[in-house]
Amino acid sequence: MIRYVGFSTLPLLLAAPLAFANSAGAAGDYPTATIADYVLGCMQTNGQTRKALESCSCSIDVIASILPYDHYE
């Protein structure tokens, strides 16, 4: 049974880097402090909720995918 559980999680472990590659690549040029500053400011404007956190985190990824960091500042 333990082997079965181990093999069933193997595809998830192999796919995990691919799942995060797009989001990491989108904001990869942006410093972590800049991303955090954006998300905190966005949440202050839109509410301190889990939904605001998710929306603000997603919006900076979209901005980063369209606008290089050199043009952001």
Residue 28: predicted pLDDT: 73
Q: In the chain, where are the structural domains located?
A: 2-72
pTM for the complete prediction?
0.62
Tens of pLDDT, residue by residue, the chain (73 residues): 555 544 454 444 444 444 444 444 556 789 999 999 999 999 999 999 999 999 999 999 999 999 999 999 7
CA atoms within 13 A on the CB side of 8: 5
The pLDDT value given to residue 37: 98
DSSP three-state, residue 68: coil
36: its two tokens: 């955090």
